[in-house]
Chain A
Amino acid sequence: GENVEQHPSTLSVQEGDSAVIKCTYSDSASNYFPWYKQELGKRPQLIIDIRSNVGEKKDQRIAVTLNKTAKHFSLHITETQPEDSAVYFCAASIRGNTPLVFGKGTRLSVIA
């Protein structure tokens, strides 16, 4: 089955700097890659997603890139703000009703 690896597990950046979180996946059939942000004790919230027919997607300060050949995808947050501090999870699935397989998460701390 699918296996998703996520790095780093923790990341601290200064406010205004960029943050990059990377994930790799094992199943070449996976074609949907969402990113979730989870604040302490709250639900994961979808922040951006990408499908395998697209190499990059951007939404304001957030962007995701996908390299299907290498089977890795990355989350980029620019101009980080303290409210970006949270745990970020990447996930992968084969489109359809297959479950998401999550990475282990990255705890991002943005230092003011």
Chain B
Amino acid sequence: GAVVSQHPSRVICKSGTSVKIECRSLDFQATTMFWYRQFPKQSLMLMATSNEGSKATYEQGVEKDKFLINHASLTLSTLTVTSAHPEDSSFYICSAQGRSNQPQHFGDGTRLSIL
């Protein structure tokens, strides 16, 4: 149980392109989803927290107009990197949590490469 699916797994695109990443909880309802970014050989850095039906809460230093997060249902959250630039290249990972006392479960991640 507790499977989280993330797509796409890999994206390579030109600078200026907008990229959408989907995160789905397949066998449970995720009241909260988290989006992390991980640079090579570094830890997971929280970007934002999203609760179903409400606006995402962004961490300090994360531009909400650049990283658009939508959590329209209890099983789907999307992260859109708008007008991506080479410095946005990174490994983006979502995690989902059911009830408040349950662990977070991670998706497989999306490796984004902006040329």
Cβ of B38 to closest chain A Cβ, rounded Å: 9
CA distance A49 to B102 in the complex (A): 11
What is the total number of residues of chain B having a CB less than 8 Å from a CB of chain A? 23
Please give, as numbers and ranges, the residues of chain B lying within 8 Å of A102 by CB-CB distance. Answer: 43-44
Known contacts A42-B109, A43-B93, A44-B93; A100/B104 CB under 8 A: yes
What is the total number of residues of chain A having a CB less than 8 Å from a CB of chain B? 20
CB pair B100–A96 under 8 Å, yes or no, is yes
Please give, as numbers and ranges, the residues of chain A lying within 8 Å of B43 by CB-CB distance. Answer: 89, 102-105
| B81-115 with Cβ < 8 A to chain A | 91, 93, 95, 97, 100-101, 103-109, 111
Indicate with 1 or 0, residue by residue over B26-58, a CB within 8 angstroms of chain A CB atoms: 000001101000000011101001010000000
**In the complex, what residue of chain A is closest to B31 when comparing beta carbons?**
A97
Known contacts A41-B111, A42-B109, A104-B42; A99/B34 CB under 8 A: yes
**In the complex, what residue of chain A is closest to B60 when comparing beta carbons?**
A1
Cβ of B84 to closest chain A Cβ, rounded Å: 20
CB pair A43–B106 under 8 Å, yes or no, is yes
Apart from A45-B106, A102-B44, what are 4 other A-B pairs with CB-CB below 8 Å?
A: A41-B91, A41-B111, A42-B109, A49-B103
